[in-house]
């Protein structure tokens, strides 16, 4: 029989932290490695403006310290199972450890853009930091980190050779805690653009206005891998890169000797991609076009390609209710299937399909089921060459399935 929570008010622990009782299933999840506590799993709330709390079981035994979430379905993000405080010393130590874990990326001297901090996967919940040559971009998704942005900027300046620290807190993740959306400079400025390299291509991004923190750094390794396989298996072939954005896949394949057509419906993205192609010294045929429509037209025309890349934005959005969320998921899987079905229909035998999903709500199993259905409907037997996710600078935290959000799979069409 599950013990019922006591109606008694929130208590103060001896350490001065508000003691928040959580139900047994939440205790089990924390111990199993899931560092999040749902609001439905807490039995009381701390006073307003609380940042750090002590999570306890229903008998009052301490379980972990956590950053409190003021509103929304998420109540707390685990900070420590060992009683570490949430202060400058611990923040500095965890930032330094996160950077040290990326040292293998820097050994060759070729990587000048990468993720430094990846939230819970680096034991820094609600904090994301990307490095671009001489700048870092900070994103915070929880109030406790948001309030420490000036401190975080100072600590990062001690760790990295940077001239600028940019804040990009203008995304939907802020809405989870009713935090205001904002962006700007914490240090340096007013230069907004950064030049860096992505899989060997020279790229430029506007750190204040381009998507995410300026670029999709999580796909850099996949840009290089797809280009390498295309060069090996389809030398000199014709490639189509849909949802190209700033041209990551397209530029890498063009540098590998393929003829590349690339599309995106965002005119600003295509303008940036064309500029990046000039910087990289390659020719790509860029089009401002909706990928769904372009695939349909190529299929109707009988066009065929040796390589097709599908890298759409997150199609599976969260709904405000369970019913809306399920509807959005159903619509997203239909969209994924249409993209993959049409891509398979325009590939030559022996051609390559690189297909991606960056939707955290789409599991590996969901993605695989969709792809099996698309291949069956297209009547094309597929050989799986590899399955990859985000680069090692975007690590998956074991126990947190949502951190394995990116899927990039490469198939060969056998007939």
Query: Can you state the percent helix, strand and coil of the chain, rounding each to 5?
Result: 35, 30, 35
Can you read off the two tokens belonging to residue 273? 């991609």
> Smallest Cα–Cα separation from 384: which of 360, 413, 345?
413
The question of whether 358 is a catalytic residue gets the answer yes
Q: Out of 18, 234, 263, 358, which one is annotated catalytic?
A: 358
CA nearest neighbour of 125 among 165, 83, 69, 72 = 69
Q: Tell me the C-alpha distance between 194 and 113, whole Å.
A: 10
Listing DSSP states for 341-372 in one string gives HHHHHTEEEEEEEEEEE--TTS-HHHHHHHHH
The residue to which tokens 């400058």 are assigned: 88
Cis bond before residue 29 (omega within 30° of 0): no
Say if residues 50 and 66 touch (Cβ distance below 8 Å): no
Give the Cα separation of 30 and 32 in Å (integer): 5
Element (H, E) at 130: strand 127-132
Cα–Cα distance for residue pair 394/119, rounded to 1 Å:
9
Q: What residues are labeled active site?
A: 358
């Amino acid at each position: 029989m599950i013990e019922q929570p006591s109606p008694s008010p929130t208590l103060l622990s001896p350490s001065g932290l508000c003691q928040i009782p959580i139900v047994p299933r939440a205790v089990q999840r924390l111990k199993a490695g899931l560092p999040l506590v749902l609001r439905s799993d807490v039995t009381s709330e701390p006073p307003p403006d609380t940042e750090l709390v002590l999570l306890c079981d229903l008998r009052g035994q301490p379980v972990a310290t956590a950053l409190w979430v003021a509103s929304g379905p998420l109540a707390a993000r685990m900070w420590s199972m060992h009683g570490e405080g949430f202060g400058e010393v611990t923040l500095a130590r965890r930032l330094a450890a996160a950077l040290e874990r990326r040292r293998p990326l820097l050994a060759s001297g070729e990587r000048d853009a990468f993720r430094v901090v990846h939230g819970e996967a680096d034991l820094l919940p609600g904090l994301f930091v990307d490095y671009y040559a001489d700048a870092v971009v900070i994103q915070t998704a929880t109030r406790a980190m948001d309030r420490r942005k000036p401190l975080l900027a100072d600590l990062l300046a001690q760790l990295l050779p940077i001239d600028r620290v940019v804040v990009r807190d203008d995304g939907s993740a802020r809405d989870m805690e009713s935090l205001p959306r904002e962006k700007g400079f914490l240090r340096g400025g007013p230069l907004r653009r950064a030049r860096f390299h992505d899989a060997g291509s020279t790229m430029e991004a506007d750190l204040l206005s381009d998507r995410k923190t300026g670029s999709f750094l999580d796909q850099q390794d996949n840009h290089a891998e797809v280009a390498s396989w295309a060069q090996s298996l389809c030398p000199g072939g014709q490639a189509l890169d849909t949802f190209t954005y700033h041209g990551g896949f397209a530029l890498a394949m063009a540098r590998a000797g393929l003829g590349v057509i690339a599309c995106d419906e965002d005119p600003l993205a295509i303008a940036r991609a064309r500029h990046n192609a000039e910087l990289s010294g390659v020719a790509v045929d860029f089009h401002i076009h909706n990928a769904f429509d372009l695939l349909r037209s190529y299929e109707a025309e009988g066009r065929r390609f040796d390589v097709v890349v599908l890298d759409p934005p997150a199609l599976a959005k969260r709904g405000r209710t369970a019913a809306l969320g399920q509807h959005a998921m159903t619509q997203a899987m239909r969209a994924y299937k249409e993209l993959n079905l049409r891509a398979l229909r325009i590939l030559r035998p022996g051609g390559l399909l690189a297909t991606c999903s960056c939707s955290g709500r789409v599991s590996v199993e969901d993605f695989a089921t969709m792809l099996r259905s698309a291949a069956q409907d297209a009547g094309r037997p597929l050989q799986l060459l590899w399955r990859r996710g985000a680069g090692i600078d975007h690590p998956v935290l074991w126990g947190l399935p949502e951190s394995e959000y990116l899927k990039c799979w490469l198939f060969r069409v056998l007939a």
